Amino acid sequence: MGSRLRAALQAAGGRVPEWVRARNGDVVWVLGSALLGLVVLLLVLWLGGKIGRGRAGLGGRARDLREPGVVVVCGPSARGAEESPGKTALIKTLKHGAMPPLGLVTTMKCSESRFTPKGWDPAAARSRRDAYTFVDVGGHASMALDLTRALCRARAVVVVLDARKASFMASLRDSGQCLYDVMTHPTVSRFQTPILIFCNKSDAKDALDERSIRELLRAEINRERKSRESEIGTIHDVTAAEAQRVPDASTQNVYLGYEGEEFQFDHAFGPVLFSRGSVLATSLEPIQTFVQAHA
């Protein structure tokens, strides 16, 4: 082959024959095309990975970190011994079947307790579960990070409100903020965690009816949404640095409802239910039905 090439070069007067130049050109074209194809393939794979991660962040392939049997109990902060919504009292009554004889002291700590509620039949539960973990989260603004953490684990959320007119109106703003934080929480919205709004002390003479409470809360949440439209990128009262320590918590809460429309409870991502009862009178059947159905 070498002698033939030398003979061809000598015959051409030392110049490279046309067939050699044509073959070299074909080789260069093939190599260039292959290199371009490889670059395009790598670019497609890189973009595909970016899009996949983006979808996962929006819930496309998000991992569900909620724990079976975990129920978060939250609500507005107590404004005094006589104006407490009754979150801790509810949990104690579920555990012991009655209020503690010496009463309760409002605490600023987040606590949890796993137990089988008194009188509950495990066979009535969808999951046949006999014990639940109730997480008691205070309503003070300093507890915002604790609420964010707890909601990442919750299979169900119970928001406890004081249904008596004076107490309800005094804490309406706090109640609206609490509900807004719960409904726009990334995990709650992504996995449609069910929410029960329990109107405690509904046996009082001055207690508001469920329809009035629903409408007042709807209007307050609508106002809260408008006031936060410029803060959609942050968790309420939780810094981005703090949020990084929260499992499955994004620094971007979702938009609640539809832009340009008044908020309605059926705009929520998951079911939002209302019920009335009384912790003091141990009238807690709605709590049992809700927890056994969803947690």
pTM of the model: 0.72
Quote the pLDDT of residue 281.
Answer: 86
Is the same domain home to 210 and 289? yes
Cβ count near 24 (within 10 Å): 11
Domain-embedded: residue 62: no
Is the same domain home to 17 and 99? no
Quote the pLDDT of residue 242.
Answer: 43
Domain ranges, residue 27: 2-57
Domain-embedded: residue 63: no
Structure-block tokens of residue 199: 């109107």
Domain-embedded: residue 96: yes
Quote the pLDDT of residue 232.
Answer: 52
Is the same domain home to 213 and 87? yes
Contacts of 279 (CB under 8 A, 6+ apart): 86, 89, 90, 93, 99, 200, 201
Residue with tokens 């007042």: 216
Is the same domain home to 84 and 187? yes
Quote the pLDDT of residue 104.
Answer: 61
Residue type, 181: D
- What are the CA-CA distances from residue 52 to residues 48, 60, 72, 242 (Å)? 6, 8, 31, 26
Is the same domain home to 87 and 148? yes
Structure-block tokens of residue 35: 């290199």
Is the same domain home to 239 and 102? yes
Is the same domain home to 79 and 45? no
Is the same domain home to 77 and 30? no
In angstroms, rounded to a whole number, what is the distance separating the alpha carbons of residues 231 and 67?
A: 29
Q: What secondary structure does DSSP assign to 160-178, as a single string?
A: EEE-BHHHHHHTHHHHHHH
User: What is the count of structural domains for the chain?
Assistant: 2
Is the same domain home to 238 and 274? yes
Domain-embedded: residue 65: no
Tens digits of pLDDT across the chain (295 residues): 555 655 655 555 555 555 545 555 565 666 677 777 887 787 777 666 544 444 344 444 568 889 999 999 999 987 665 667 789 899 999 999 887 766 565 667 789 999 999 989 888 777 788 899 999 998 888 888 999 999 999 999 999 999 999 999 999 999 999 999 999 999 999 999 999 999 999 999 999 999 999 999 999 999 999 888 766 544 444 444 444 444 444 445 778 888 888 999 999 999 999 999 999 888 899 999 999 999 8
In angstroms, rounded to a whole number, what is the distance separating the alpha carbons of residues 38 and 35?
A: 5
